Homo-oligomer: A and B are copies of this chain.
Amino acid sequence: MTRPAAPRRASIADVARAAGVSVGTVSNVLNRPDRVLPGTRERVEAAIAELSFVRNGSARQLRAGTITTIGAIVLDIANPFFTDVARGIEERLDRDDFTLMVASSDDDPGREQRYLRLFEEHGVQGIIVVPATDDIEHLQAVRRRGTGVVLLDRPSPDPGISSVAVDDVRGGELAAQHLLEQGHTRIAFLNGPHTIRQCADRHEGVVKALAAVGLDPEQALTEITVTSLNAEGGEAAIRGLLESGDQPTAVFCVNDLVALGVLRTLRTENIAVPTDMAVVGYDDVAFAAELSTPLTSVRQPTHELGVRAADLLLTAPDTAEHVMFQPTLVVRTSSARP
């Protein structure tokens, strides 16, 4: 089945010719139908249907300048945390008849740049981005050129750029404090690379909690870097840890997907949770409470995060605001005292 030799899409001029009117009139039918006599309008509409005319968005935008779309760049589209945030964004945008385009950078600064450029070149009203690196120079540049930018899930180091984040230092602290209270003194932290700010912050929080009770992080904490922040990554990391012979009594995971991989592995290795090993996750995703060992997790207000980020872009595109939400700890079986 070959395409019928793509005969160039019909343009407004074709429609005008077919309807026996001028291009201006066709444009009016499209944009201000009330300014056109019903009879004329019908003829134009018939021609549009006849030629199956579709507006050329590029030309339209080139001339008109505006577009009611905003873009979001997240780290991993398969992570429930980000998709929950995306739902929040969508919900808010819907109220203003804006549309959302989501792209996933996969932690790759190159991909982030590519999508950033794509969005900017196409003139979106604003971009909500979870930066893949600590360096936001390129984001500041985008902002300077006039496109709205909101940093998501990470406090802005630049007061001129808005951000909507959750206190990750506090999140790390909450988790560690809790584990310490349960009597653990040897904790493994399956964390992402510190180039991701959230990871660095959570680590800082953990260290803070240890210091508060007089523990030396060098002794009490083993940090393991998980390369892919999903179940497979968690599985690989915990296996590495088990094989190393280093045996902490608790594992704190940088997100619930990683924790899922850990739980899965511990079960196949017959290591009982929480008796032999306590586990704490992060994000409190929907399924955390329903796991074979219900997972203790740090909850973030994901939906709110998205709503707020979209709100900043829509209502105050020229103002920079910094919103910081507080995480809470949801304690479940996976970290009960042995």
Contact = CB atoms under 8 A, between A and B. Distances in A.
Given A103-B101, A231-B286, A292-B291, A6 B61 contact: no
Interface in A125-162: 141, 144-146, 159-160
Give the oligomeric copy count.
Answer: 2
B318 A2 contact: yes
A79 to B, nearest CB: 8
Contacts of A56: 62, 121, 123
Contacts of A87: 77-78, 104
Contacts of A84: 78
Most buried by B among A103, A114, A293: A103
Contact of A115 (B3, B54, B99): B99
A314 interface: no
Contacts of A337: none
B69 A78 contact: no
A52 interface: yes
Nearest to A84: B78
A130 to B, nearest CB: 15
- A-side binding surface: helix, strand, loop or mixed? mixed
A231 B77 CA distance: 19
A86 interface: yes
B318 A1 contact: yes
Nearest to A106: B90
Most buried by B among A1, A267, A294: A1
Given A80-B78, A86-B77, A145-B52, A264 B290 contact: yes
A144 B10 CA distance: 12
Given A9-B146, A257-B286, A260-B290, A55 B104 contact: no
Interface of A: 1-3, 6, 9, 52, 54-62, 69, 77-78, 80, 83-84, 86-87, 90, 99-104, 106, 114-115, 117-118, 120-123, 141, 144-146, 159-160, 230-231, 257, 260, 263-264, 267, 286-287, 289-294, 317-320
